[in-house]
Amino acid sequence: MSYRVLARAYRSTTFDEVVGQEVTATTLKNALKSGRVHHGYLFTGTRGVGKTSMARILAKALNCLASDSPTPTPCCKCESCTAVAEGQDIDVVEIDAASNTGVDNIRELRSNATLRPARARFKVYIIDEVHMLSTGAFNALLKTLEEPPSHVKFILATTEAQRVPATIVSRCQRFDFNAISMDAMASHLARIAAAEQVQADEGVLRRVARLANGSMRDALSLLDQLLSYDPQHLTSAIVDELLPPPHDELSAAVIDCVAERDAAGALRALDAALQTGRTVDRFCDHLIEHVRTLMLLRVCGTDTDLVDVSAALRTTLASQAEKFDAPTYVYMIALLEELRRNVKFSGAARALADAAVARLAMSHQFTDLSVLLKRLDNNDTVPKALPAADVKKNAAPDAAVRRESQLTVPTYGGGGGPQPVPRRTPAEWDRAARDPLVQRVKAAVDGTLLDIRSVQPAAADPAQPSESADEGEPTLFAAEE
């Protein structure tokens, strides 16, 4: 007898066995109890979250021979239930829309739908990946889907609901299947391991659940792979040998180095992530999602429901989220999204990724121009916290040129605190404030980032203001190193 993979052997057979989709299961059970079963359903969600399994369970509930009417608890033992579970029931037709995309296929479906079921109560059509149907096929399906014969039920499943025409969606009851949480998936894997008489460490099962990224089918496939290596005892060493690190750990390593301003370490972390076989654009997706999670934790708080992670991982991410402020996360996401778009059309994807990561690690060199302009408006040339003797000393132009000021501004970067800004003399501030170029910059600035070390001081003597642009424009944010 051939081996039956875990994803098939432990497929949900009743509504109560479905993992992570309790709301949808309860709604369908109550509809069956009250006799309010719709003629068309649309199940949407990512791969491996139970759409087709739920469709088969609903088909069994409608046609179970052990009951005189549709029941929320199919017996799973009668001839109809077993045939549906194996995909061989003549009254439950499963269609792969990816290979049956044309108008002729839907016309054939329509002609067969008029025929009464052979032995069951209803003829059920399960159309998987329905978004792959052509425009003509969708149009041919519209009328039948809106007013089908009383003995016909349609169950449509798709991973890309946005590609299904609104005219189709409006004729169905839509159920969105959520990604399965890591805790629920790890618990289900533990039950399967016990049923298979396999000793598995808890850390191994949680690692598999994290790698599955919300897909139960992916988790069972990974568990199958581990059992092929050792069918008796699964340890962390086996997981490290066979499976790549979770993408959130790789992303966290890059962000930690960025927070420490360790450009070399960030590049090594990026290299380690790409060595696992991930493409640059795929890792960009993971890194963007990780930064988004950190931003939500920083802005909305640790307990926000916008982040779907386990309690243990939430604590770790919340600690990392404190390393940057919200504007920095916005800047990171914009930079990474630009990188993700560019690498798809570039022959130097790795070089672009290295440059972007190095730029993030050097983000402490960037500061908000609006903050400096606000200080210019306030003529804030001397920090208020300085002693009176230092204020007098700083008031002299010669002293201002000779010594560095303690005036600081916030920076876009993690760790290390604010960065010093060189002292300008009062004459320089006044001359810069009157300059038309500065006025235009002040009018246009809106959260613009400026590298304060990329602008060089004016060549002209600041004590001799010039009316001509040829004599050197005033420099407001010069950095003297």
- For the chain, list the domains and their CATH numbers: 6-176 (3.40.50.300), 182-242 (1.10.8.60), 247-361 (1.20.272.10), 366-471 (no CATH)
Residue 423: what pLDDT? 60
Residue 244: what pLDDT? 72
Contact 124, 93 (CB under 8 A): yes
Residue 295: what pLDDT? 93
Residue 154: what pLDDT? 95
Q: Which amino acid is at 28?
A: L
Instruction: Give the SS3 label for residue 260.
Output: coil
Residue 401: what pLDDT? 39
Give me the long-range contacts of 468-477 (CB less than 8 A, separation at least 24).
Answer: 473/435, 473/437, 474/428, 474/431, 474/432, 474/435, 474/437, 474/438, 475/432, 476/372, 476/373, 476/376, 476/432, 476/438, 477/369, 477/372, 477/421, 477/450, 477/452
Please classify residue 53 by burial: count the beta carbons closer than 10 Å to its beta carbon, then call 0-12 exposed, 13-18 middle and 19+ buried. buried
Q: Phi, psi at residue 443, to the nearest 5°?
A: -75, -30
d(CA 430, CA 443): 18
Residue 211: what pLDDT? 83
Find residue 448's DSSP bridge partners. Answer: none
d(CA 459, CA 441): 21
Residue 122: what pLDDT? 92
Residue 368: what pLDDT? 57
Residue 100: what pLDDT? 84
d(CA 219, CA 209): 6
**pLDDT by position in tens, the chain (length 481):** 578 889 888 999 999 999 989 999 999 999 999 989 999 999 999 899 999 999 999 999 999 988 888 999 999 888 999 999 888 889 999 999 888 888 898 899 988 988 898 888 999 999 999 999 999 999 999 988 988 999 999 999 999 999 999 999 999 999 999 888 888 898 999 999 999 998 888 788 888 888 888 889 999 999 999 998 888 888 888 887 787 777 778 889 999 999 998 999 999 999 988 888 788 888 898 899 899 999 999 999 888 888 877 676 788 888 999 998 888 899 899 999 999 999 988 889 999 999 999 998 887 665 556 666 666 666 654 444 334 444 444 444 444 334 444 444 444 444 444 455 556 666 766 666 666 666 666 665 544 444 444 444 444 444 444 444 444 444 444 343 3
- Contacts of residue 235, defined as CB under 8 A and 6 or more positions apart, other chains included, come to 201, 204
Residue 444: what pLDDT? 55
